[in-house]
Structure 1
Amino acid sequence: MAERDPYELFQDWLAEAGTSEPNDPNAMALATADADGLPSVRMVLLKGTDPRGFVFYTNTESRKGEQLLANRNAALCFHWKTLRRQVRVEGAVEQVSDAEADAYYNSRPRESRIGAWASQQSRPLEGRWELEKRVAQFAAKFGLGDVPRPPHWTGFRVLPRRIEFWQDRPFRLHERTLYLRANAEGAEPAAWTTEHLYP
């Protein structure tokens, strides 16, 4: 594996996954921890990358949203089974700007925007009827007009300190390339250094 800018390499791998994975090549495991350090993990969808990091969106009142606000560190794992590849990301977390959140929210289907208002994510639900009732209530509230972004719905960006690229090789002699940088949070993050790891 040639040593390249990790974001360019990731984009190439993601594009290849887009042609081979049957569903959601942008799916990633998101690991968070609460204020006490207790971990939790779930699958979410990557919605953007830029030279600063990896972006996804969620309800800040959900369990993961509360954890992200309490402990501003997270880890991501992409696994593309058909390509026998994996990418792991670890770093600090920041909220995206209101402009970024608005732009992505407004690109979503209307039904998804109404769903963001209707779903009290991670809270107990008596039955499906309760969710459907809330969807109907918010659909009636907004009618044919604009569906604004809820104040509790925004995006987060993982600012990587570590990005590891894993490629399957015969006899479990896999190829692992690790990109590291000391400062990911500043206006001008530190340069990447590269290490090769034993499988």
Structure 2
Amino acid sequence: MTKIRCAWCEKTDLYKDYHDNEWGKPVYDEVALFEFLILETFQAGLSWYTVLVKRENFRKAFAGFDVQKVANFKDAKLQVLAEDVGIIRNKLKIKAAVTNAQAFIKIQEEFGSFSKYIWGFVDGKPIDNNPKSLNDVPATTEISDKLSKDLKKRGFKFVGSTVVYAFMQATGMVNDHIEACWLRA
């Protein structure tokens, strides 16, 4: 029996694996949240597939997404990253990763964890949008607008509402699996 999936993931096995094992599953782990946040900011303006293909390279380049280490990257490290063909070499996004790590740590200090902060925007539980098809899945919502605005106020970069909504989908803050998808429940 063939599994019915959300149509966006049917192009490659890499997409299917990501869809089946990660996308839309609630994430509370600080390292995983930081990884998704950084990867989503690098994805801005590109396809998610581009990021997935380079994900392991990103993990190596960004110290396993250890937020403390990334927050302390110096200019020499940023230059090395800008020359690393294994990642997306956008200098502004690379610099933003360090800025975002520093802002992430400030949120951890203020709220006790980034998870507590981020999940507070959805009252601690996933929002179930129950889309019938991909056409019913929004690019942004009122909540992603609010969260984006708050992240920017706290110093984050490359966190527009579309990026934030994609982060919310990836980390299971919203359930946008289509009605027929085997992961819907």
What TM-score comes out, normalization by structure 1 length?
0.24
Q: Which has the higher contact order (CA 8 A, sep 6+)?
A: 2
Between structures 1 and 2, the one with greater strand share: 1
For the pair shown, the structure with the greater C-alpha radius of gyration is: 1
Between structures 1 and 2, the one with greater helix share: 2
